[in-house]
Structure formats: structure tokens, C-alpha cells
Structure 1
Amino acid sequence: MDFDRAPFRDELFHAESFHAESFRAELDAQPWASYTHAYGSAEDVPGCLRALAGDDDAAAEEAQSELYGSILHQGSVYEASAKAVPFLARIAAAGIRTADVLLLIGGIAEGGTDPDPGPDLGSDPAGSGAVRESDEAACRRAVVAQLPLLLASVEHEDRAVRQAAAWAAGWTGTAGAALAVPALRDRAAVEKDPLVRAELLTSLVESDPEGSASAAAGAVGPDSPPELRIAAVMACADIGLPWTRDHHEAVLDLLPLDRLAADRYDHSRNEPLHDICLTLLDRDTEADREAVFALLDAALRSADPEARTEAVWVVTTACELSRSAPVRLAPALISAAAEDGTDDETGALSALGRLGPSGAPAADLLAARAAGDGDTADRALEALVAVDPVRAASLLARDLERRPRALQAASGGPADSLPVVPYDPELLAAVRRRLATMEPGGTTPFRLTALLASWGPDASDAVPELLAALPAHPRVLPKALVAVCPPGRRAEVADALRARTGTGPADERIEAARALHELTGDHGALLPLLAELLAGSARGGGGSGGSAEPIREAAEAAAAVGPAAASLVPALRAALNSPGAERNNPQMDDDIALAVALHRITGDAAEAVPVLAGVLGDRDGLWRRWTLVRAAAAAGSLGPAARPLVPVLKALLADPRQTPSAALALRAVAPDDLDAGHMAGLLLDAAEAGAAPFEAVDALVAFGTDALSDEHRARFTELGERDRRVVRSGLDGTVEITDERLRARVRAAVRSR
């Protein structure tokens, strides 16, 4: 589509304040190619604006999609976004696709931020030295400037236009409040449509929360239409008003709630029950938590399956946020699961696993459901793994092949953070049978071997099946063999691994050789393979450009061998990236592993220190967190020889995500330079912020909790006793379990003082 030739609608020529020629002239006068959006140059924006104003509906829809992708990309705004706002406002005011264009303008305002008070900063003139306004502030400022045009649309005869105008005006924030609030209030006084009234109230609360509190409270009662009523309840929660019986009853009267927000334009708040409960839990008071629990308890016991479905979803969030939620909500969630029968209609059965040990009363129900067929039975057994892993083991043994979700949970979950089922002879026998029937080229038995490895020597009876399956799965089984191998079978397993070091692809031979070294200390087969791997990586450019994962693998294996790997030192040095070269994260990870290997082999830190200094001093790259953590740990492994790294390690302390690794490294490198009280405060800050809670707690324990001040001891104790979870992120279903493990760690440390 040639956007530049798209014809304009007649309205563009006849709108009193809109003229096609001046519109086109002003559009063409902008240096669009010098502006940027999500994909670089904004030279395509004027064509999209012309098409949006044209009479070709298909072209206009395509242009609108293009603009959402470029100037409002996934909610982010850019320089070109602000520049486009005046033209979008004029299109909307001319009556052309007004509702759609208003929503685009409102999205740009939502992606912006209130500008600092003062004049429009605009672009920084060359050599002026002025500070350029952020794209976000420029976008919010641009929409505020168009408020007279936007607010005129709140009087439009079309309901969708009035609703869109109200929503867009609300996102001008405090910057637009002086203009927006009076106009929105005037319209709210006469508006009859429930959805528009809900949108107007929400926007008023966004622009003037204190001044809109009485209006929100007054709309909670049963005389208000449902759409407005639930918007009022949400507004009261947002403003911070105390939760009352009226709010509670309004929510229960209106369940299920999602249908009441389905046609609202605030798509980030289209799950009212979830949003209300999240807002109240964020207040972190006993009264607000109890309000949430009472609300969810009642919703879970509703006769309406849709209401129960909404409540189940919120329960999972509540359990992620609040340590008291599982035990408080367990009875109602069990009741909802029982009400569903055998089909898990609301998801309550699966959600029982989020309760952990607090869900123990559900064990009989879960076991009964797990005895059935299909995915529901698998989900029930998956939940039982979290609630009662001992009982789950025997049930999993009966039908291992048809319980993939339960097996994943039993063997460590998607992030190896879920409970692992303890050793069970019946389950071991089932795993052995499964290994014996697996055909070459079939599914790699990651989960089976993870389960066996977690049992260690208790699973030694599986050695024959592991040996038989080794040729078919040479990358996965060597580690499991080492983990389960009893002393009496060490020679047999070593012979099998040694045989694998001489056959197959290089990565498979190295895996066998590493396992052989771990089992017996024999590195005779490993060193030539590592030399071959390093040489191949060097030929492939691994040490001088694109990072190659084998470099890190070889370096880690060489480090494990230690001084006996001296023959590899030249190849390890050759694999290092050139000093001062631009490196991505994988290349830095390679260099960290190489530096550690060189130190462990030679005993000399002289080569490692500058390599690590280069990594630790480069903190500006994307996704650098774990690379820096590894570099700090490597620095700590050097001990006092890494003293030159103290300045860069101390600089890392300012980032809560890096505080624990940097603190531990400094403790190993220069313990006399540390202020124990200051360090404890930083580590507690990191833990309380949820940035690196496990690492921070482990570091506090390593430093010694006996030396904590009274204030720090109280804060440390609070980490184990507070209701708000310390762990706040993780894969679905792992936050609660990980946080409970952290809580146990803190409590044990407090008791051991």
C-alpha cells in the first residue's frame, strides 16, 4: 500500500478547524527521518498518518497496526510518538476513526510520564548544553497539549467515542489534571451509559484521587449499575480507602467480575477480583489481608463455577505474595476442588499444589483424583507431590509413563526448585522398568535420571539399567551413574565410562571422560579430549570473536583436574578473548572460566586478575547480572591474590542484585577492609528488596549472625517471620516453595545463634 497516495476523507477538508492542505504541509515539514521509534528511523510515520486519515478502510487498519508496532511498541513510547500526537489529535477531532485514534493517543499518554514543571524542553539545540527531555515526558506533555481536542469528545454522541476520550484523558496524569478533571466531572454528572460512567470515574481517580474519593465511595452501593459499581470498588482500593463491609458485599453481589470489565479500555485492569485483592495485599496490613482472605473464601464457595474460577486464579497470586494465604485459604480451595468433581473445571484441583504442606488435608482428595485417567489425574498427582510427596511416590510408581507433569514435579520441577520425591523402592522399580524399555533415539530420560541422582546411592540398584541405556543416551546418563554408583560397582561403571571416551561425537566422549574423572580421579582420557576441544574452538573463532560454549565447558573441566592439567595451559591462554575487545556475556563467561582454570592449574593469579577486572568493570551491558555474579565468585576463589579487584568489587555492592556475591568475594579477598555492620546492612537491604534473597541470607550466615547488631538481628529475624514473601519472582508455582525454603533457612540461622 502506498500510504502517501491514500486519499483523505471529506471531513478533512470541511472540519472547521482542520484543513487537509495545512495538515499535509505540516506533516511533510517535520524531519521524520531524523526521529526514531521502535524500529529506528520514523520516516514511515507520515505515510501511516495519511493512510489512517484516508478512506481506504483496509489501509487505515494496516496503518493503525503499524503505528501500534512502531510508536507504541508493547506500551513503550519514543521520540516519534510525541511528534505524532498533534496529528493524531487532529484526525480524531475531524471525526475520522475517532474512538480508535483516541485509544492510540491514550496509549501514548499511558506510556509516558508526567514532565517536570516548567517550559517545554524540546530537542537539545546543537551546542546548547541543555538537558533533553525524556521521550516519556515529551509524550505525556504532547498529549496534555491536545487535551482541548480530546475533552471535546467526551460530549460525543457515540458511546465508544465518549468512553475512549474519558480513558485517554485520564492518562494525562497530574500534568493534565487542571484541564481534564473539571471536564470529566461535568460529563460524569450527566452521563447515563454505565461503561462510560465507569471509565470517567476511573480517569478521575487517576487524575485526582483525593478529590474523587467521595464520588468513588458513593458509587459502591447497589443503586449503581454493575459496571460502575465494580469500578467504584476498585477506585476505593486504589485511593487507599479502608475496606468496608459494603465493598465486600458489592464484590460478592457482582461475581463473576471479569464480564463487567470486558469492554473497558483499561486492559491492564480487566480482572477486577485479581486487581482488588492484589491492591489490598500490597498494603501489607493484617486487616487488609483478612479482607482478601474473607473475600476469596466466600468466592471459592460460590455456586457459580465462573466465580470460583476467578477466585482460584487470585488464590495462586495470594499464595505467591502472602505466607499466611495457604493455610488460611486451604479449606475453601479444597471445597472448590471437591465441588468441581472429576474435571477440574475451575482449576482448583491443580491449585491445591500451591498450598504446599498447608494442603495436607487435601491429600485424600488428590489421591482419589490421581487414581483416574488423563490430564486431570496427572495434575492431581502433580499437586500431591507438593502436598504430600511421600504419598505421591507410590502413586507415581503405578503409572509412571502416563504422569509426565507429576514426574517433572517429583524430579525437581521446571527450575529444579520444586520438592523432590524422597526415595521410594516402588518408584525406583518403576524407573528401572522405564529405563529398560526405552528405545534408542527415543525421549532423553532427563527426568528419570534427575530423580535417580537426587536419591544417590539409594538408587544403586538402577546401575544395570543405566549401563544398558548408556549407549543410547551418552550425554545424560554418565552423571547419573556417578551419582548412584556404590563402591562395589565402581570398577564396572568406570570401565563402561572409559569405553565411551573412545567412541562417538566429541561432546559425548568428554561427558564420559568428565564422569570418569569425577568417579575415579582418572584424567588420562579427559585431557586429550579437552585439548582437542580447545583447539577446535580456536579454529572456529571461539577465542577471537563469536563465543563458543565448548570453551567454558573445557575450562571448567580443566579447572576440576587442577595442576595435572598443566599441558592445557597454552590452549587455555589462547582461548582468552583479546584484552580490551568488545565481548558479549557468553564471551565474558568463557573468560571467567578460563581465568579460574589457569589459576587452579598454575596456582598463579597474575593472569586471572586482569581478566576478571575487565569483566567486573564492565557493568553496562544487557543481562549482565549472572555474568557478574560468576566473576565475583571467581575473584573470591583467588583469595588475597585478588586484592587489586577490591575497588571493582566494592562498586558492585551498590547494586542489590550483586551485593551478596560481591560481599562474599570481598570477605575472601580483603576481610580486613570490611565494615561488618555496613556489610550486614547492605545484605539485609538486598534480601528485603527481594533482589537476591537466598544469596543475601547465605552471605549473612557466612559472615556470622552472632556479630549482628540488635537492629540488624531484628531485621534478619523479620525475614523469617513477616507475612510478605521475601522471594517474589520465579517460574509459575515455584515462588511459594522457594520462599518457604528461605524462611526455614533464616529461622534455622536465628535459632543457632
Structure 2
Amino acid sequence: MDLERLLVDLDGVRWADVDHAYGEADDLPGMLRALAGDEERAREALDELWSSILHQGTVYSATVTAVPFLARLAAAGVRSDDLLVLLGGIADSRDEYGLPAPGACRSAVADQLPLILPLFASEDPEVRRAAVWAAGRTGATAALPALRRHWDGGREEPAVRAELLAALARIDPSVGAEAAAGVLAPGPDASEGPDAPAGPAAASRADASVEHTGPAGPTASAGRIEPAEPAGPTASAEPAGPTDSAEPAAVVRIVAVLTCLDLGLPWTSAHRDALVSLLPAGPRVADLFDPSRAEPLHYAVDALLLRDTGQDREAAHRLIEAALRLPDPEARREALWAAEHACVISRGAPLRLAPALLALLADPTFTDPAPMLPVLAALGRHAAPAAPVLTALAESAGERADRALEVLLRIAPEQAGPLLARDLDGRPRTLRAVTGLPGRRPPLPVPYAPELLNAIRIRLSGIAGQDDSLADCPAALLELLLSWGPRASAALPELAAAFERRPARIAPALAAVCPPESRERTAGLLRRAAESAEGDTAGRFAAARALRTLTGESDPLVGVLQEALTSEDADPELPRAAGELGCDGEVLIPRLREALTPQGAGRTVADLRADLETALALWRLTGEAAEPVKVLEGVIAEAADGEWTRLPLTEAVRAAALIGPAAAALAPALEALLDRPDQAPCALLALSAVGRAADRTRAAELLLTSAEHALEWSTALDALAALGPEALTHETTARLTALADGDLRVVASGPGPDLIDADERLRARAREVLTAAR
């Protein structure tokens, strides 16, 4: 092989003028040459190429430039299968960055078909399979004759044949549908072996029993989110398991079923039975290049539910029910994951699937309930009958018990507290759920339980006693004390003893649980900590703030803020506390002005947030808006175009709404945010507050767009309610009805149970707004 001849023009490319994931692409020539070197360096170069020109599925301008060299190397036998897979991934990418034109990478790979198509005849089946994948991902009709010729030949290995079918369907849906029907038709099939007769059959031969009529066009693909009524007279009989004779064609039959889904063909009982008979399907498709098809049952359920018709939803539920009835443990695992996914994307799935899932839990052959824990969490209140099983699991030790307790906390919280008390250190997952995540995941409430309070007291005693094994107290335990308030007053002695070691963390709980009869003694403890010259700033601030909460005293807090406001740490809580002091905080005005970060000084998110709170504090303490508005104007300008500055931008807009008419100068900046669904709800409220309200009909449309994207949906729906029913047109009323009553979930990101909880809150609020509007 003459490598220099293959890469003769490699050094003539201005690689520094094109970029990959890590910047200028002047390192690509070395990577390309290294592909023909020794195995270790070649493998390293291949990994570097994937990371650089197809980074997490994204393609770049350098990717376009590299494609011809990759195709030449593959055609010359240099790591042909690896490079063809890379070329197929490049053609498949829809995530483009800095390309000269949309689809430029796909076109570049299509231009290399004269080098790729001859590799269909390679002696190596892996090269043939990869070549089919690369050609199919281009979507170019120029590849169709070669694909059809090799499909009709009927002599390919099943793995190659599966890629051929997928490629045919991608390039010509009618040919793909015909081929898939032939695979699934009763009787001998070309995919079952080299001697079977070729020739596709009509799609109607798949089965006469149609479960639904699908949409006319292709459906959405699987992967919208990462993550059955009991068998009755309408459910089909349990399909037979896979047989040895069917095994060689299993991957082809699975791809045929998924192809029918992709093409929007009617879903039939034959499709269901074919797929269920091949479960567990994951291992059978492990070698497919398309990662979205790695779990065929999950893929099928997703596709059916996203069709969003009653018949398709019922078909998805029946498919899951049939899979749950299989005795194979791995098949059941796939069914459970598909059921969880159904609950995550479909509002009706938890109620519909709960009976079948609970029946499986009671099945004596289902000996390990641990795989069902995620789907029980997704079922929510519909999983309440599973509480005894969860309790039994939670009483054991280890990670599985912790997961079971977290699920129990979601569906039967009154039973979770005493179990949590038994092993605080062994339940980190449950404690994280109790703590929540500010701004993203609300904490799971735990009802007051004397046993749990006693366990927390013991933990606090360990901190006070400087027991190294209990050197810290999980935030969740302090959150529990805060939520219980004076009911947890029995923990006051332990909190007071631990306070000296952890003043910043303990102070809020100390004030929260303090009963009236202990107020004077507790106040003295907090006061001494706040005024101590030896205490750290965070501890003194927490003590002073807790003291003000408990007694209303302001002097210690003012003293701490005098020192802390101009510290290097940008803590938004400091100016926020200053602004809450009223006339007692007027002495802090010079310090607040001194604390402001100069505009254009490369402010961090923490700087921007601290400056916002400082501006609001100045407004509250002085009653003057000019200076604070100038600060807000700078924050909005600096945060509006930042990738990671959404939070300070939203807070700045909300601050403008608080200031009201005196912030009218911000109206142009606020109006510029109306086209951003993540900022429109707050911007509309702020515009109304400053006296520049938008047209009510347009405002309703913008608010619904935000809610439909689950962006600031709570603010959006509250603002929509404030607009009144007169702002709703027939179209916007229909959109609001879909938010309230549609089956597909609107919230579409986050861990499954948290996503479901958020979507249920959105749906409930949308229903309230809709009811009020009728």
C-alpha cells in the first residue's frame, strides 16, 4: 500500500482554517497517517478522530474536509470496517457546528459512494456490514441499486442483511416497507437462510388483524428521554419463545418490525407477537450500528406512544403486558424498562400499566423485585399496593435497600421515616431525595416520626462528641428538622452542642426547632457566635441571621455584614440579608455600593447574582431606583448572550418586575427577551410591571410556548391566569387544553420520577387555568 499516494494532497489542505471539537484541526494529518501504523498507534488515532471530528455525535468543518481521506483509506483496506463505521456516523449526524452548509458532512460522505459501494463485495462480512451502514446513512438514492441487488441476493449473513434492510428503508421507504413485510410474512423468508426464495411480499400480508391505523407519515424515532392492564380478553395469547431455527434470522426480524414502526405502518398483532417472541432482544441487536435500536422493545414502545393516538397507546400497553408475561428474567427486565419509559413519556401509562406490574410483583416466579424499583417509582401513587414488598426490601442492608426506601418514600412516606431511622449512614440515595436540588428537584417530604428524630439526635451527638466516623451531618437531616420546626424541639440540646463545630450549618435548624421557653438561652448562644472575633464569617453570618429570625435583633447581623459585604466571596445571601433589614440596614448602603463589581470585569455567575441582590438591597434601603436599574441593565446585557447565565438573567428580569415603573428604562431590553421561551414569562410580567404590557393575545401565545417547552412553566401559567380568559383565542385555548389533558408529557428532562412529578404539577396547574378560563 502506497500511503503517500493515498494521502498525496493531505498536506495541501489548510487544516488550521477548519475546526474540530478542540479547535484548529492542524493535528488531523498526523491522526490520518497514524491509521496505517502499528496497531496500538492506529487504535489511538482512531479514538482521537472520533473524539475530534464526531465528538459526542457533533460534526464540524474539519469533519467535511477529513471525509475524502477516510474513504480512501477504507477503500485501500486500512481499518476498513472501523473507518466505514465512522463515515456512517458522520453521515448520520444532525448536530452540526460551523459547517459551510447544512448537511455538508452527509453530502461529503455521499460523494464517496464510488469508493464505499465496491466494499459491499468484500470478503470480510464486517466490512460489508459497515459499508452498508455508511451508504445507508447518506440517504443517497445512488446507493439504492447496490443495496437492492445485495438484498435480493439473499445470501448475506443476518447481521449484514439487517443493515441492508435498515438502509433500504432509509433511502426508499416504499422499498423498505415491502422488504420488511417480506421478512415478517408467514412462511419461508429470504432472511432465514441463503437457500430461501427471495422476493418481498405486500405489506398487507403481515397480518390481517390490525390493532390500529397509524399516521400517514413516518413517526418520531426513539430516544425522546433517556430511561398494562392485566391480561384479559383483549390481550393476545402468550407468544412462543424464540426457537433455534428462527435464531439466525432474529436480528433481521427485529429490524423489520422496527422498520415498520419507523415508516408509520399500521401496528398489528403480528408485529407484537414477532417482537415478543424474540425477547430478550437486546443481545440479538448488540452488533447493530444504530445505537437507538439497542433496546428494541423500548424503541417500539416509544414509537407507538409518540404516535399519540388512543389505538397506538393501547398497542404499546398490550406489547408491554405480553412481554411481562414471559418467564425469561432478561425478557422481563427489558419489559420493565419499557414500562418505566412508557410511564415517563405518557401520562396515562402509570394507571394503565399498574395492574400488570403489580400482578408480576405478586408472581411467585418473580423472585427478585429489585429490577422493578425504577418502574414502581414511576408509577407513583398507583404503586401503593407494593408498599409491603418495598418495606421488606428496605429492612435489609445495602444499596438495594436504599433504593427501595427511596421508592417507599415516594409512594408511602409515612412508612419511610421509621425505616430511615434504622440506618441513616446506609441510606445516601434516600437522603439525597429528602434534600432535593434547589431550582431543579424539590425535596421529598418526610412526615414527623419520633424514631427518626431520635436517630437524628444520636447523629448530632456524634458530631458534638467529635466522633470522627460521624464528623458531618447530612444536609437532609437538618432539612428534616427545619421542616418539622418546634415538633423537633427535643433535638435542641444536641443541636446546641453541635453548633460550636458546625455553626453555619446548624444555626438555621437551631432557630427553627427552638420552643418559646428556650428562646432566651438559644438566643444567647447565637448572639455569642455572631459577635465572636474568632468565628469564621460564614458561621457568624448564619448565627446572626438565625438570631434575627428568632428574636428580631438586627445589630449582630449588621455588624457581620459590615465586614463581609466587601469580601472576595460573591455570596448573594449577604446583600439579600442586608436588603431585608429595612431602616436598620441603612448604615450598610456605602458597603453595598463598594461591593458592586465593575461592569465588563469578566463577572462570574456568582458575581452577577451577588450584584443583582446588591442592587435590590440598595433599592429597598434607599427607595431610589436609578442606581439599581443601571446595575440591572448591565447584568441583563452581560447575561443575555451567555451560555451559562440563564439564572442571573431570569433573576435580573424578576428584579425589574419588583422595582416596577421606576425600571421603565429596561423595557427595550425586556422586549428583546420575548422571543426566548426560557425568559418570556418573566419578561412579560416585568414589562407589565414597568408599564409596557404586551398585547394580551400575543402574550398568551408566548406564555403557552414557554409552558409547552416546560421552560418557566409555573411563571408562564400563573401569568396566563392573570391575563384572564379574554386573552385566549380558540387556538390558544386548544393549546392550553393539550397541556392540561394531552397524554404525552410536557416535561421531558431529568430523572424519571422527578420528571413525572414535575409534569404532574404542570398538568394540575394547566387544568386550573383552563377551568378558570371556561
Q: TM-score range by the shorter chain?
A: 0.7 to 0.9
Displaced runs of 4 or more, over 6 A: 340-343
CA separation in 2, counterparts of 1:752 and 1:485? 42
CA separation in 1, counterparts of 2:434 and 2:6? 65
Per the alignment, residue 81 of structure 2 pairs with: 99
Aligned-pair CA distance for 1:727: 1.8
The letter for the 1-side match of 2:389 is L
Match of 2:162 among 198, 202, 219: 198
Match of 2:757 among 729, 737, 740: 737
Aligned-pair CA distance for 1:146: 0.5
Per the alignment, residue 677 of structure 1 pairs with: 697
Aligned-pair CA distance for 1:748: 4.0
Inter-CA distance 45–275: structure 2 relative to 1 (3 Å threshold)? same
Aligned-pair CA distance for 1:669: 1.9
Aligned-pair CA distance for 1:402: 3.7
Aligned-pair CA distance for 1:605: 0.8
CA separation in 1, counterparts of 2:58 and 2:766? 40
Mapped pair 1:51 → 2:42: no
Mapped pair 1:530 → 2:554: no
Mapped pair 1:636 → 2:657: yes
Aligned-pair CA distance for 1:430: 3.4
Match of 1:653 among 668, 674, 687: 674
Mapped pair 1:380 → 2:380: no
Q: Which consecutive residues of structure 1, in runs of 5 or more, have no partner in the other structure?
A: 1-11, 14-19, 116-131, 538-547
Do the aligned partners of 1:344 and 1:350 also contact (CA within 8 Å) in 2? no
Match of 1:81 among 63, 88, 98: 63
Inter-CA distance 747–246: structure 2 relative to 1 (3 Å threshold)? same
Match of 1:425 among 450, 469, 483: 450
Aligned-pair CA distance for 1:435: 2.7
Match of 1:667 among 688, 706, 726: 688
- Equivalent positions of 1:33-432 (< 5 A) are 33-54=16-37, 56-111=38-93, 134=100, 137-173=103-139, 177-190=140-153, 191-221=155-185, 223=189, 224=191, 225-339=249-363, 344=368, 347-412=371-436, 416-417=441-442, 419-432=444-457
CA separation in 2, counterparts of 1:704 and 1:429? 50
Aligned-pair CA distance for 1:356: 0.9
CA separation in 2, counterparts of 1:178 and 1:267? 24
CA separation in 2, counterparts of 1:111 and 1:718? 32
Higher relative contact order (CA 8 A, sep 6+): 2
CA separation in 2, counterparts of 1:635 and 1:722? 35
Percent identity at matched positions? 48
Per the alignment, residue 9 of structure 2 pairs with: 26
CA separation in 2, counterparts of 1:492 and 1:705? 55
Inter-CA distance 701–423: structure 2 relative to 1 (3 Å threshold)? farther
TM-score, structure 2 as length reference? 0.86
Q: Deviations over 1:225-260 (max 9, x none)?
A: 110000111111111112111110011100001011
Do the aligned partners of 1:301 and 1:335 also contact (CA within 8 Å) in 2? no
Do the aligned partners of 1:305 and 1:345 also contact (CA within 8 Å) in 2? no
Q: Deviations over 1:633-675 (max 9, x none)?
A: 11111111111111211221111111221122223222x6332
Per the alignment, residue 457 of structure 1 pairs with: 486
TM-score, structure 1 as length reference? 0.88
Q: Deviations over 1:498-524 (max 9, x none)?
A: 122124211111111122223333221
The letter for the 1-side match of 2:521 is E
Inter-CA distance 376–172: structure 2 relative to 1 (3 Å threshold)? same
CA separation in 1, counterparts of 2:501 and 2:66? 60
Which moves more between the two structures, 340-349 or 603-612?
340-349
SS of the residue corresponding to residue 490 of structure 2 reads: helix
The letter for the 1-side match of 2:442 is S
Aligned-pair CA distance for 1:459: 2.7
Per the alignment, residue 540 of structure 1 pairs with: none
CA separation in 2, counterparts of 1:141 and 1:707? 47
Which moves more between the two structures, 230-239 or 396-405?
396-405
CA separation in 2, counterparts of 1:401 and 1:113? 44
SS of the residue corresponding to residue 77 of structure 1 reads: strand
Instruction: Give the total of aligned pairs.
Output: 704
Do the aligned partners of 1:108 and 1:140 also contact (CA within 8 Å) in 2? yes
CA separation in 1, counterparts of 2:541 and 2:306? 51
Inter-CA distance 135–444: structure 2 relative to 1 (3 Å threshold)? farther
Q: Which consecutive residues of structure 2, in runs of 5 or more, have no partner in the other structure?
A: 192-248
Do the aligned partners of 1:527 and 1:565 also contact (CA within 8 Å) in 2? yes
Q: Deviations over 1:102-123 (max 9, x none)?
A: 11212221225899xxxxxxxx
SS of the residue corresponding to residue 123 of structure 2 reads: coil
Aligned residues: CA RMSD = 2.6
Per the alignment, residue 127 of structure 1 pairs with: none
Match of 2:536 among 468, 488, 505: 505
Inter-CA distance 463–210: structure 2 relative to 1 (3 Å threshold)? farther
Inter-CA distance 397–747: structure 2 relative to 1 (3 Å threshold)? farther
Per the alignment, residue 551 of structure 2 pairs with: 520
SS of the residue corresponding to residue 354 of structure 2 reads: helix
